[in-house]
Structure 1
C-alpha cells in the first residue's frame, strides 16, 4: 500500500480549495467514459476511493462540465467561453457562471500549435498579461505537465488500452502542496480541446 512521505513546510498552491492540497505526492487515476449523450469522469486514489466526478452532455454547442466532490456536491462549473480558433474556458466555483464566482480562465496560447500549450489566468490577475500557470504537452498522447513559473507542479500521462471504445484512462501525479481538483479541471479542459 502507498505510504505518502510528508514533506514539511510545503508552500500551498490552492486554487479550488485548501482541502484539495496535501503535503505529499498525490497519485490519481482518472477514468473517462463517453456515451451517446453524455460523458462521465471518475477520479480515484490508489485505493480506488472516489474523490471527484465530472459530468456533462455530449451535445452542447459551447461545452459545459460540472465537477462534483466525493459526496456529489457541485464543486466547479467548467464552461467553454466562445467557439473560436483559440479556445477559451472559464472555471467558476459551484454551479453557474456568475462573474463573482470566477476562479480562473484557461486559453490556448496560440491558435495553431504543434504542441499543446495553455495559459491559466487566475481571477485575481486583472491585467492578464502574464499567465499564472502554464500547461505544456502533446496532442498525440494527451500527456502534459503543469508549471507555475518554471516550477513543475503536476504531470498527467494517458494510459492506452486497445479495444476500449469510448473509454480513456489517465495517471495524474500532483506534487506536494498543489490543489489536485485544479489539476483535474485542467485535464478536463485539455481533453475537451483535443477531442
Structure 2
C-alpha cells in the first residue's frame, strides 16, 4: 500500500497516547468475529500482519454493553461503556478498565436523536459540556464505512470489506487508513462504537 514519506514536522494528535501516533500514513485491518452465541472478538493488524490491538466483549447484555480494547499481551488499554437510557446512543471511553470520571478520555454519541444521516460526535473529557464537538464522524447508509474529521480536516477513513460468506459466519473486516500524526487506537475505538450503534442498521 502507498505510504507518504515520513514527516517528523507533522503535529501529533495523541488522544489515547503518543505511542499510537506516527508521522506517516498508517493502514490497518480490523477483524471482528462473533464467537458462539454471546462473545465477540476484535483483532487489529498493521499492513504486515502484526497484531497491534485486540478487543472483546459480550454480544448481548441486559443492562449496558462494555467493550475492552487491549494490547496484544492482553493488558487493558481502553474500556468503552454504553450509557444506559441514552437517546443518542452515548458511549464513554475510559483508560484501562476504569469507570472513574477522572479516567474518562472522551464521549461518543449520535449527532442527534433523530437522524437522517449516520453521524457521530466525539467530545474530549475537557469538553464534555461543549456545544461544539472535537471530532465528527460521517458515515454511509450502504455499509459500515465512514470518515473522521477534526473540524474540516479529514484524519481517518474506514472502509468495510463486505463478503457475503464472511457476514453469515459472523465475521466483518475493515480497512482503516489513519492519517499522519493521528492516534490509531482512538480511531479503532470510534470504529467499535460506530459498529455498535449502526451495525444493525
Q: TM-score range by the shorter chain?
A: over 0.9
Report how far residue 71 of structure 1 moved: 2.1
Contact 2:42/2:55 (<8 A) preserved = yes
3-state SS of paired residue (1:176): coil
Q: Please point out which of 169, 177, 185 is paired with 1:173.
A: 177
Deviates more, 1:121-130 or 1:31-40: 121-130
Deviates more, 1:156-165 or 1:180-189: 156-165
Equivalent in the alignment of 1:31? 31
Report how far residue 58 of structure 1 moved: 1.2
1:27-50, Cα deviation, whole Å (9 max, x unpaired): 000000012111101000011100
Report how far residue 2 of structure 1 moved: 6.7
Tell me how large the CA RMSD over aligned residues is: 1.4
Aligned residues: 195
Report how far residue 4 of structure 1 moved: 5.6
1: CA distance, partners of 2:6 / 2:133: 29
2: CA distance, partners of 1:194 / 1:47: 29
Contact 2:3/2:24 (<8 A) preserved = no
Q: Any gaps of 5 or more consecutive residues in structure 1? A: none
3-state SS of paired residue (2:122): strand
Deviates more, 1:117-126 or 1:177-186: 117-126
2: CA distance, partners of 1:48 / 1:122: 31
Q: Please point out which of 141, 144, 161 is paired with 1:142.
A: 144
Contact 1:62/1:83 (<8 A) preserved = no
Q: Any gaps of 5 or more consecutive residues in structure 2? A: none
1: CA distance, partners of 2:104 / 2:197: 20
Equivalent in the alignment of 1:154? 156
1: CA distance, partners of 2:141 / 2:192: 14
2: CA distance, partners of 1:46 / 1:135: 24
Q: TM-score, normalised by structure 1?
A: 0.95
2: CA distance, partners of 1:41 / 1:174: 18
Q: TM-score, normalised by structure 2?
A: 0.93
Report how far residue 124 of structure 1 moved: 1.3
